[in-house]
Structure 1
Amino acid sequence: MKKIWFLISTLVLSIALTACSEESNGAKDEKDSTNEEAEAETEDAAKNAKSAMMQFYMSVSKAINSQDGDLNTYEASEEEPTAEMKTSAEASATAVVAELEKVEIPEQLKDQKADLEAALKDLTNSYQAKADELKKDTPSLEAANETFTKAEDQIGKAFESVGLNASSLGTEVNG
């Protein structure tokens, strides 16, 4: 009789352990699927941020390139620029300022928004400084170019924060 009770209690204990084990696995599976979903959301957010950063960068370079042709010609001139070149360059720099003011930062870059706003402000200030300098008899664009470089560095840091390699805006818009 003791053997039968022992077998029955062993059987009941095995069934109870199996049931607990299945519940534990179910909870573990739920945790795993929740973790996988969270990882997928994180990966999607990272991809979206990278895409938004590229979209932002392209809109900035497009805004500048659409208007800076005469300014680039003036700055690249190996000869003494003419008064007409200087006037055209000033108008070009002023037009770039207007275009940069239209650039918007994508919503997906909310973590980088402050840095990108500062970079846009510096870019705008750089081109405004160029326009102001070109009104002078002997313009010096060094300070404006330093401000541009500062903005370029800020954009580079924002690129790195989303996992992209920093890009050279100066090469993009002056090339």
Structure 2
Amino acid sequence: MKKFFVLLFSLALAIGLTACSSNNEAKTDKKENKEESAPKVDIKKELVKFYMDLGDKINAKDADLNAYVAKATKEDAKPEELPTSEDRAKASEAAAAVAAELNNYKVPAALKDKKADLESAIKDYATSYQIKADELKKDVPNLDAASASLTQAEEKLGKVFESEKLLAPSLDKQVN
């Protein structure tokens, strides 16, 4: 009878150890899988943050440009309300500053899969501002080429947002 109880106890102990060891292996596997998988990036959230940051960078430098455009496009403006050559020079400097800022802008690492498309859009925005800067140095500036470059940039940025099922933004509206 003693041998039977020893055998039964040994069997119960073996089953208990087996159950405990497989349970620990399952927990270890789950921990390793969690550690190996990178944290999930919310691309939509990162795109919106990128867009807002880009707009903030532009707004920080384009106040004189916006003031010039507001004066130049005002309907029924009196001669004293029209922009002066000094206003135009300040607007040119502001546009050049924005172009420089955009040329140095880095796409966040979280958007690495969209980096090429976003950089292309940023390049077109920078080109638009550089054209504005150059044209505003003239007595009679023509901003048609700048508008074309801006439209191209808006389309590129819109495609990136739409690829993530977001509405296409308008950086032009945000910064003006």
Q: What is the TM-score of this pair, normalised by structure 1?
A: 0.70
1:67 is matched with 61
- Confirm or deny: 8 A CA contact 1:59 1:103 kept in the other structure: no
| Aligned counterpart in structure 2 of residue 168 of structure 1, from 157, 160, 170 | 170
Deviation at 1:82, TM superposition (A): 0.5
Deviation at 1:131, TM superposition (A): 0.4
Deviation at 1:171, TM superposition (A): 0.9
2:6 is matched with none
In structure 2, C-alpha distance between the alignment counterparts of 1:127 and 1:140, rounded to whole Å: 13
In structure 1, C-alpha distance between the alignment counterparts of 2:109 and 2:164, rounded to whole Å: 14
Residue type of the alignment partner of 2:40: D
1:123 is matched with 125
Deviation at 1:70, TM superposition (A): 0.8
Deviation at 1:162, TM superposition (A): 2.0
2:104 is matched with 102
1:113 is matched with 115
In structure 1, C-alpha distance between the alignment counterparts of 2:101 and 2:123, rounded to whole Å: 12
How many residues matched? 135
Deviation at 1:133, TM superposition (A): 0.3
Residue type of the alignment partner of 1:66: A
Residue type of the alignment partner of 2:89: T
Structure 2: runs of 5+ lacking an equivalent: 1-29
- Confirm or deny: 8 A CA contact 1:56 1:104 kept in the other structure: no
Deviation at 1:110, TM superposition (A): 2.2
1:14 is matched with none
CA-atom RMSD, angstroms?
Answer: 2.2
> 1:1-175 maps to which residues of 2 (within 5 A)?
44-45=40-41, 47=42, 49-77=43-71, 78=74, 79=77, 80-174=82-176
In structure 2, C-alpha distance between the alignment counterparts of 1:98 and 1:62, rounded to whole Å: 15
Deviation at 1:44, TM superposition (A): 3.4
In structure 1, C-alpha distance between the alignment counterparts of 2:94 and 2:168, rounded to whole Å: 27
- Confirm or deny: 8 A CA contact 1:52 1:109 kept in the other structure: yes
Structure 1: runs of 5+ lacking an equivalent: 1-33
Deviation at 1:163, TM superposition (A): 2.4
Deviations 1:99-142 (A, max 9, x none): 21232112222222111111011010000000000111110111
In structure 1, C-alpha distance between the alignment counterparts of 2:49 and 2:100, rounded to whole Å: 19
Deviations 1:48-72 (A, max 9, x none): x112211211121011100111111
In structure 1, C-alpha distance between the alignment counterparts of 2:50 and 2:106, rounded to whole Å: 8
Q: What is the TM-score of this pair, normalised by structure 2?
A: 0.70
Structure 1 runs of 4+ off > 6 angstroms?
A: none
The share of aligned pairs that are identical, in percent, is 47
- SS of 2:64's equivalent? helix
